[in-house]
A and B are shown apart, each in its own frame.
Chain A
């Protein structure tokens, strides 16, 4: 099933929007500049029983709530093959013989010098959109995009490692609290970013490989993304929706603007220790403009008294429409996004003083 088939705009309105957005500078329906975001309301730590939580309301009424919970889980040993061809310590079923007493006896999983100890499976993102099943196309696509952005730099999953036998499993539950009026990806991503910034894990008291024991005092808990250290990847990534109309690039598109987009990209950017942004994931999103109906030119329109519908053959009609190329009446866009435009969009997000930095700074100032 195609998403967002209910676009209540006629071909004339679509053509008008497209033309006004293609101007230099573009005229957006609400009068914003191309890189201006709509105002939003954000708050964190709203769920007392979750490790971290956040809520963001956009100006068009859509609202999202994210709760982050962490659970200690026993690690499964990976089955590596050392050079002599035998995998030691595998036991009968190949599941390993590790128990609480075998501390240090087991052959360790080959840890990398760069600290690649985390596993992708330790993070689980679940998205709930009202009115959709969890295996519909949209929630699956959104959760895949958010998951790969979070796992891209490797910093998050490394922080979930406790010792060689246990790790934290992080559950991020995203709830879109209102109907999906426009494509919800940036809303969900910003809310996840805020929730992760406020997530705290209890402080570890045990040492090395013994069963983990934590400090009961919640005040002693550590932040998952420590606010003041200089380690790498100190902030979770943020996903922005960028659309293009002709040569114009627009940020934070509203539903009407998406209905005439030539192409839509979702760009995830994360901040490194030096403060500069890097792109960690990118996906093209099928623009809803491809689902719109083409307009009928005057020559073929019987209501204007033209006789083209009767006199012209099917081949002539087709030739006429192709020659017109959507200039006189609206036509859904064809083809993809030009390569130069992709490069420009990425640059606008990650450059110094660009849109990505603005968004990150805005979110950093949210008080709990």
Chain B
């Protein structure tokens, strides 16, 4: 990996996030999942947040319950993603001829997004996420209508989900790892990029929505005996002790097709059930997506109609229709 040579970097491998000593009588409890296995967390999605971009959207999974413990560190992290779409715009002069729209995706975690600080230069996991997102979006975009053009989707993750509970040693080096937080982030990225694409008015086959599901094994009341693998959708990795397998899906509901499928871990015989759960999660987040997009369109149309009506008063007999793209 290329080191960031333009800045003074932190010592490599020499720092760890602080663990605060709690008062003697405050117990540190691991957060538990209180929702049903097929219930999604509440989402917030809004388009049109970046005025200078062709299209943009902001996606957030806020903390669901008020924090019960009086600790400085929150028990589970939330997810905050912002996406801006620039395009379609012409390719530079020296670029080779491309008969289809050239899609570039750029995913970056802000340095403060996770417990272990990430640098300013994209590392391998962020590039990998970018590749996944590109696979998800390329299936929906009708690229052949835009020759010699490029479209850039830039995603910044302002707060990312951790791989595990920080009390276990967290994700990354100390804990068992597995990169499960990345899969939740990818599901959010797919949804927010889809909203931003609609906001930018790029021709798409359908709206793709992202969903994630996991096969988890939790100890029942501290006993090791009650270990059965349970299928949950929209997992928050800090709520579960062990995630055996997880699956992210980019789903097109009207065509019943999957543009992006990423599955990790040992699911045994329940592979198809895991994919179906993830598709269910994607359908749930699609309702939020559709609602957000509809609200934004109504806002735009309301403004457009005002403008059209205003001009009609001065300009006799000339009707102007507001043309909607996308």
The CA-CA distance from A334 to B259 in the complex, in Å, is 9
Q: Contacts A95-B16, A293-B99, A293-B100: A282 and B131 contacting too (C-beta < 8 A)?
A: no
Inter-chain CA distance A293–B175, complex, in Å, is 48
Question: B2 contacts which of A95, A135, A286, A342 (Cβ < 8 Å)?
Answer: A135
Q: Which residue of B lies closest to A264 (CB)?
A: B135
A113 at interface, CB cutoff 8 A: yes
Q: A78-B175, A85-B22, A342-B258 are in contact. Are A336 and B127 (CB under 8 A)?
A: no
Contact assessment for A339 and B279 in the assembled complex, using a CB-CB cutoff below 8 Å: yes
Given the interface pairs A2-B102, A119-B173, the reply to whether A278 lies near B268 with Cβ below 8 Å is yes
Structural contact, A281 and B100, CB atoms closer than 8 A? no
Q: Which residues of A contact B310 (CB under 8 A)?
A: none
Say yes or no: B267 contacts A79, CB within 8 Å.
no
Q: How far is the CB of B137 from chain A (nearest CB, A)?
A: 10
The answer for the CA separation of A337 and B260 in the assembled complex, in Å, is 9
Closest to A337 in B: B258
A319 interface contact, C-beta 8 A: no
Tell me which residues from 1 to 15 in chain A have a Cβ below 8 Å from any Cβ of chain B.
1-2, 5
User: Pick the contact of B252 from A113, A318, A336 — CB < 8 Å?
Assistant: A336
Q: Taking the complex as formed, is B174 at the interface, i.e. its CB lies under 8 A from any CB of chain A?
A: yes
| B residues less than 8 Å from A90 (CB atoms) | 19
Segment touching A, from B24-32, B293-301, B311-319: B24-32
Q: How far is the CA of A137 from the CA of B138 in the complex (A)?
A: 15
Give the docked Cα–Cα distance between A141 and B145 (Å): 28
Query: Is B306 located at the chain interface by the 8 A CB criterion?
Result: no
Would you call A42 an interface residue if the criterion is a C-beta within 8 Å of the partner chain's C-beta atoms?
A: no
Complex CA–CA separation, A86 to B268 (angstroms): 38
Bound together, the chains give a CA A120 to CA B104 distance in angstroms of 30
State whether A152 and B264 are in contact (beta carbons under 8 Å apart), knowing that A5-B98, A335-B139, A336-B257 are contacts in the complex: yes
Q: Which residues on A sit within 8 Å (CB–CB) of B21?
A: 85-86
CB B243 to nearest CB in A, in angstroms, measures 12
Query: Contact between B262 and A290 (Cβ–Cβ < 8 Å)?
Result: no
Does A355 reach chain B (CB closer than 8 Å)? no
Residue B265, interface by CB 8 Å: yes
Give the residue of A113, A140, A285, A336 whose beta carbon is less than 8 angstroms from that of B224: A113
Q: Which of B79-87, B152-160, B176-184 contacts A (4 or more CB under 8 A)?
A: B176-184
Residue pair A294, B99 in contact (C-beta under 8 Å):
yes
A290: which B residues are within 8 A, CB to CB?
100, 138-139, 143
The reply on A338 being an interface residue by CB < 8 A is yes
Question: B144, A331: Cβ atoms under 8 Å?
Answer: yes
| B49 adjacent to chain A (CB < 8 Å) | no
Q: Is B43 an interface residue (CB 8 A)?
A: no
With A78-B175, A144-B124 in contact, do A283 and B256 touch (Cβ < 8 Å)?
no
CB of B30, distance to nearest CB on chain A (Å): 9
One digit per residue, 1 when the CB lies within 8 angstroms of any chain B CB and 0 when it does not, for chain A 325-346 equals: 0000001101111110011001
Are A282 and B250 within 8 A (Cβ)? no
Contacting pair B174 A79 (CB below 8 A): yes
The listed residue with most A CB atoms (<10 A of its CB), out of B18, B167, B250, is: B167
Q: Is the CB of A335 within 8 A of B257?
A: yes
CB distance from B211 to the nearest CB of A (A): 13
Q: Shortest Cβ distance from B225 into chain A, in angstroms?
A: 11
A279 at the interface (CB under 8 A from B): yes
B-contact 0/1 string along A75-118, CB 8 Å cutoff:
01011110111110010011100000000000000000100100
Contact B167 A80 (CB under 8 A): yes
A93 to B122, CA, bound (A): 28
CB-nearest residue of chain B relative to A118? B176
- A81 and B167: CB pair below 8 A? yes
Asked whether, in the complex, the Cβ of B143 is within 8 Å of the Cβ of A342, the reply is no
**Do A135 and B1 touch (CB < 8 A)?**
yes
Closest partner residue, chain A, to B254 (CB atom):
A335
Chain A residues with CB under 8 Å of B205's CB are: 334-335
Q: Distance in Å from the Cβ of B233 to the closest Cβ of chain A?
A: 16
In the complex, whether A132 has a CB less than 8 A from a CB of chain B is no
A285's nearest neighbour on chain B, judged by CB, is: B135
Per the 8 Å Cβ criterion, residues 272-288 of B in contact with A are 272, 275, 279
- The yes or no answer to A280 lying at the interface (CB within 8 A) is yes
Q: Is the CB of B169 within 8 A of A80?
A: yes
Within A115-164, the residues touching B (CB, 8 Å) are 116, 119-121, 134-135, 137, 140-141, 143-144, 148, 151-153
Cβ-based interface call for A260 (8 A)? no
Q: Are A79 and B279 in contact (CB under 8 A)?
A: no
From B173, B175, B260, B263, A336 is in contact (CB under 8 Å) with: B260
The answer, yes or no, to whether A265 is at the interface (CB within 8 Å) is yes
The answer to whether the Cβ of A363 comes within 8 Å of any Cβ in the partner chain is: no
A254 within 8 Å of B by Cβ?
A: no
A-B contact pairs, 23 of them (CB 8 A): A2-B98, A2-B103, A5-B98, A78-B173, A79-B16, A79-B170, A81-B19, A85-B28, A87-B19, A280-B264, A282-B262, A283-B132, A293-B99, A334-B140, A335-B206, A335-B252, A335-B257, A336-B250, A336-B252, A336-B257, A337-B258, A338-B257, A343-B272
7 further A-B contacts with Cβ under 8 Å, apart from A141-B127, A279-B263, A334-B139, are: A5-B98, A78-B175, A94-B18, A337-B257, A337-B259, A337-B261, A339-B258
Residues in chain A within 8 A of chain B (CB atoms): 1-2, 5, 76, 78-81, 83-87, 90, 93-95, 113, 116, 119-121, 134-135, 137, 140-141, 143-144, 148, 151-153, 265, 278-286, 290-294, 318, 331-332, 334-339, 342-343, 346
6 tightest A-B CB contacts, nearest first? A293-B99, A336-B259, A78-B174, A85-B22, A78-B169, A336-B257
